[in-house]
């Protein structure tokens, strides 16, 4: 009997230690979860571009973990001048004001141009084509109303823990916004 106790002693001690550590770990995890609850907010956060800060640098097209990027050009129609010579649509000094590809600024011809009434044209973005390069946005910003702007499209975005465009954005334009208001849109013409 005494013999047996000696040989089995280390095992029981180990078991005891193990059980103790388990209880400690469980308590720790429980406490940790409790602490965590205080850090939880019911609102999840998602990434979005502040159009006022965006510098239209082109990195949105290249830095997203998705190819093509989850960032697309978005049009605030109420802000648009419906210009015949849209500087977001046409290259500088286009040959003709028509839809020929060589006249278009967009590298993938994602902007659709539609005549509405003289002399107004409507421009719509085909998001299945847009790569988020921001060329049109730059054109519109420089000489137009700034009605074209870039937004993270949440039907595509994976909501990475750390948006890889945000890391590279020179304008510091990316920020986390509450999921209930996932867009930072430009809306309408405000002065003049």
Can the peptide bond before residue 177 be classed as cis, meaning omega within 30 degrees of 0? no
Among 2, 96, 102, 190, which residue sits at the site for other proteins (rule: CB under 8 A)? Answer: 190
150 touches which of ligand SF4, other proteins, none (CB within 5 to 8 A by kind)?
ligand SF4
Among 3, 41, 101, 128, which residue sits at the site for other proteins (rule: CB under 8 A)? Answer: 41
Residue 82: count other Cβ atoms within 10 Å of its Cβ: 16
Q: Is 155 in the site for other proteins (CB under 8 A)?
A: yes
- Report the candidate in 32, 34, 72, 36 with the shortest Cα–Cα distance to residue 165: 72
Among 71, 74, 86, 177, which residue sits at the site for ligand SF4 (rule: CB under 6 A)? Answer: 71
Among 16, 22, 98, 100, which residue sits at the site for other proteins (rule: CB under 8 A)? Answer: 22
In sign, the C-alpha dihedral spanning 92, 93, 98, 100 is negative
Q: Considering only residues 133 through 152, tell me which ones interact with ligand SF4, judged by CB under 6 A.
A: 133-137, 150, 152
Among 79, 83, 86, 110, which residue sits at the site for ligand SF4 (rule: CB under 6 A)? Answer: 110
Q: Is 97 in the site for other proteins (CB under 8 A)?
A: no
**Tokens in use for 51?**
């159009």
Q: Is 2 in the site for other proteins (CB under 8 A)?
A: no
Burial of 33 (0-12, 13-18, 19+ CB in 10 A): exposed
Q: In the bound complex, what is the minimum distance in angstroms from residue 66's beta carbon to ligand SF4?
A: 5
Three-class SS of residue 102? helix
Q: Considering only residues 45 through 74, tell me which ones interact with other proteins, judged by CB under 8 A.
A: 45-46, 52-53, 55-59, 65-67, 74
Please answer whether residues 142 and 17 qualify as being in contact, where contact means their C-beta atoms are separated by less than 8 angstroms: no
Residues near 180 by beta carbon (within 8 Å), at least 6 away in sequence = 43
Residue 129: count other Cβ atoms within 10 Å of its Cβ: 15
Catalog residues that contact ligand SF4 under the rule CB under 6 A. Answer: 47, 49, 54-57, 59-60, 64-66, 70-71, 73, 105-106, 108, 110-111, 125, 130-137, 150, 152, 157-160, 163-165, 169-171, 173
């Amino acid at each position: 009997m005494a013999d047996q106790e000696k040989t089995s002693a280390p095992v029981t001690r180990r078991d005891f230690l193990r059980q103790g550590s388990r209880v400690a770990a469980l308590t720790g995890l429980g406490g940790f979860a409790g602490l965590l609850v205080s850090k939880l907010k019911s609102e999840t956060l998602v990434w979005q571009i502040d159009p006022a800060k965006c510098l239209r640098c082109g990195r949105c097209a290249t830095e997203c973990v998705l190819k093509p990027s989850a960032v697309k050009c978005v049009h605030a129609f109420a802000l648009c001048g419906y210009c015949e010579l849209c500087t977001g649509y046409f290259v500088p000094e286009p040959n003709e004001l028509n839809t020929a590809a060589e006249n278009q600024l967009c590298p993938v011809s994602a902007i659709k141009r539609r005549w509405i009434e003289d002399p107004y044209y409507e421009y719509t973005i085909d998001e299945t084509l847009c790569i988020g390069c921001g060329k049109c946005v730059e054109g519109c910003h420089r000489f137009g109303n700034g009605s074209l702007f870039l937004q993270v499209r949440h039907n595509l975005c994976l909501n990475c823990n750390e948006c890889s465009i945000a890391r590279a954005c020179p304008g510091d334009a990316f920020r986390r916004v509450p999921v209930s208001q996932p867009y930072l849109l430009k809306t309408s013409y405000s002065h003049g």
